[in-house]
Amino acid sequence: MDTKKWTQLWLEYHKAYDGDGAWSVAFEGFSDNQVVIANAIYEFRRGIEALTGEMVLESGRDDAGKCKVRTLTICNNQSVPAEGYHIEGSEKGILVEASEERGVLYGVFAILRQIACGRKSFEVKESAAPSNPLRMMNHWDNMDGSIERGYSGESFFFEKDQIIINDRTRDYARFMASVGINGVVINNVNVKAAASYLITDRYFDQLARLSEIFNDYGIRLYLSLNFASPIEIGGMDTCDPLDKEVKAWWEGKIKEVYERLPLLGGFLVKADSEGRPGPFTYGRTQADGANMLGDVIKAYGGIIIWRCFVYNCTQDWRDTKTDRARAGYDYFKDLDGAYHDNVILQIKNGPMDFQIREPVSPLLGGLKRTNQMLEVQIAQEYTGHQIDLCYLIPLFKEVLDFHTHCCEGKDTVADVVSGRTMGNTLGGMAAVINTGNDINWTGDDLAAANTYGFGRLSYNTDLSAEEIAREWITMTFKLSKKEEDLLCSMLLRSREIYEKYTSPLGIGWMVTPNDHYGPSVDGYEYSRWGTYHRADHLGIGVDRTDKGTGYAQQYYPENAKLYNDPDSCPEELLLFFHHVPYTRMLKSGKTLIQHIYDSHFEGEEEARGLARDWESLKDSIPSETFDRVKERFDLQLNNAREWRDQVNSYFFRKSGIADEKGRTIY
């Protein structure tokens, strides 16, 4: 395989130390006839040889006389939780204990990670079990090869309406398994054109192959489903979920699908959203739609993941009562408890749409008797298109750590989606992924920190954003401690910097319509999407209090109270919840307008700082990578400057209030 065609991301495995021996592999209760185990050994061989120079001996060969032979012992221990592992190094070798195959695979990747991060083989030690049952990547890949909101080239799953399977497919599965991902949806939630035919004979053979490659790395294949399939591919005139013939059509279809794709995990469904068909068309509820599919797929052990991104996208900006932020809760809360056991509701982290700062969706934890999954986006749609540096793990941590107050204790979002709150077994985290067929997979090499980070965080929500960043850096690059510290601090600063030069204090949007990169303060202000900042000559912000749209009241009382009052509302969300005058005094002692000016000047300056920091790493980063990233920083600086000037000029002209520091505003 020509590995030059694409990078190995964090599985590059730079030399960690010079080993003094070789390895043999022993089994207790497992065997390398099990294909996931065989892959685990393949990974161990590949990793340990690159990290230490120590070879793994072919079984049966006894080279013990020539050098020290350590043993990797793979042991079945039923007391280890599912998908968990216990690894422990000693002078004799390393023990990996797990109760099933995936645990072994994850254990082996953990060994390699620890060695890459500085431990000797005898020092390796960890007991781990996944925080979340489901840890998924959602691809928004279209079958023509394009990717909706993709910033890293074209799809590596599809081209010209065909499914691609090549060496890259396996590498992808390896990367995902190495960070604990156990489910992948390969096609866009907007299921159109050829994608509607993924559940037909046209694609079964290729999908079956793909599902096997995934399965061999412990990953389940999932598909996005077109809710209108009975009409579009079944020739019916309705897809009413309560229509008997529609249900019968689905029964036949799903039976056929599982005969051909026995490894399929289930379906992800975007219904009644942004023009996609759904149960509302027939006067049915979201639960009617999700449960019908859930019931049909149940016999095959499949699940239905139903998205909650349902809102009115044909609003009138003059209507100040309709509030898009309310929509998810309004449509789904009343049906809590009505969803069947194998249905999961997938909820975006915020009530709007993956902005750089939003409150946590009140639906998370608002639902108390429904399986829930958190959806985040590592594709940087609103966070810089993988041009601007934006390490998103701190944002995801804030969401996971958020206390919903849905119950006493066990009330964080992490508790809710992991199943700890309700004691349920279906739930987890999904990310809209940021990959494509670019040589480095993620367009910006540094954006791979988000790919890596999401996987690690979904497996272990207790890890800190910094720990994850450090691991990723150490595994990806070969840097001195000081350089690692610098790159780590760049990642950790990046989200706040991006936030500073873009839209202020939680209001969001202000982006160029459609493409969503670059500033356009009024770009979404008078449009149909429900995305308003409501700036006039006196002030800015959306009144979502009990006197406004009432959105704040969707939270449990503790949070509702906090958000309802501008004095207690966390300041970074002030404009999301309140319409306030430009002259309002903030906690910093600055007026709101001065805060807007200052943060935009600072953000632009700090972005320049990031670019300078990258420049200082020039001699230690492979030149191709260095140049690729440098180009991105050049573009980021233009972007930051444009944001700064457009936002500041807009508010200067609206308010007529000058910058106290007399800087250039147009």
* Residue whose CB is less far from ligand GCW, 267 or 651: 267
Q: How far is the CB of 358 from ligand GCW (least distance, A)?
A: 13
Ranges of H-type helices in 271-409: 286-298, 327-332, 393-401
Q: How far is the CB of 293 from ligand GCW (least distance, A)?
A: 18
Q: Which of 216, 358, 381, 606 is catalytic?
A: 381
Ranges of H-type helices in 125-243: 167-178, 201-215, 229-232
Q: How far is the CB of 200 from ligand GCW (least distance, A)?
A: 22
Q: Which of 101, 141, 240, 353 is catalytic?
A: 353
Instruction: Give catalytic status of residue 83 as yes or no.
Output: no
Cβ atoms of residues 126 and 114 within 8 Å? yes
* Residue whose CB is less far from ligand GCW, 309 or 576: 309
Instruction: Give catalytic status of residue 525 as yes or no.
Output: no
Instruction: Give catalytic status of residue 381 as yes or no.
Output: yes
* Residue whose CB is less far from ligand GCW, 308 or 593: 308
Query: For residue 256, which of 319, 221, 208 has the smallest C-alpha distance?
Result: 208
φ, ψ for residue 251, nearest 5 deg: -60, -45
Which residues face 268 on adjacent strands?
A: 224, 305
Tokens coding 473: 């850096």
φ, ψ for residue 391, nearest 5 deg: -80, 115
* Residue whose CB is less far from ligand GCW, 273 or 435: 273
Assign residue 218 a region (left: φ > 0; alpha: ψ between -120 and 50; beta: otherwise).
left
Q: Which of 63, 274, 319, 401 is catalytic?
A: 274
> What is the distance between the alpha carbons of residues 565 and 194, in angstroms, rounded to a whole number?
50
Q: What is the largest CA-CA distance in the chain?
A: 85
* Residue whose CB is less far from ligand GCW, 262 or 513: 513
Query: For residue 21, which of 87, 116, 120, 104 has the smallest C-alpha distance?
Result: 120
> What is the distance between the alpha carbons of residues 147 and 442, in angstroms, rounded to a whole number?
12
Query: For residue 279, which of 338, 310, 239 has the smallest C-alpha distance?
Result: 239
Residues shown for the chain: 666
Residues whose CB is less than 8 angstroms from the CB of residue 407 and which lie 6 or more positions away in sequence, other chains included: 368, 421
Q: How far is the CB of 516 from ligand GCW (least distance, A)?
A: 7
**Hey, is 469 helix, strand or coil?**
helix
Q: How far is the CB of 631 from ligand GCW (least distance, A)?
A: 25
Radius of gyration of the chain (CA): 26
Which H/E stretch holds residue 36?
helix 35-52
What residue number has its CB nearest to ligand GCW?
Answer: 353
* Residue whose CB is less far from ligand GCW, 259 or 274: 274
Ranges of H-type helices in 153-285: 167-178, 201-215, 229-232, 244-260
Q: What does the binding site for ligand GCW look like in residue numbers (CB under 6 A)?
A: 140, 148-149, 188-190, 270, 273-274, 309, 353
Q: How far is the CB of 140 from ligand GCW (least distance, A)?
A: 5
* Residue whose CB is less far from ligand GCW, 155 or 648: 155
Cβ atoms of residues 456 and 179 within 8 Å? yes
Q: To 10 degrees, what angle do helices 465-476 and 393-401 make?
A: 150
Query: For residue 387, which of 610, 644, 645 has the smallest C-alpha distance?
Result: 610
Cβ atoms of residues 597 and 648 within 8 Å? yes
Tokens coding 434: 């940021």
DSSP 491-553: HHHHHHHHHHHSS-TT----BPTTT--SB-TTTTTSSSSS------SSEE----STTTT-GGG
Q: How far is the CB of 86 from ligand GCW (least distance, A)?
A: 39
Q: How far is the CB of 432 from ligand GCW (least distance, A)?
A: 7
> What is the distance between the alpha carbons of residues 506 and 533, in angstroms, rounded to a whole number?
10
Q: How far is the CB of 512 from ligand GCW (least distance, A)?
A: 12
Q: How far is the CB of 274 from ligand GCW (least distance, A)?
A: 6
Catalytic residues: 274, 353, 381
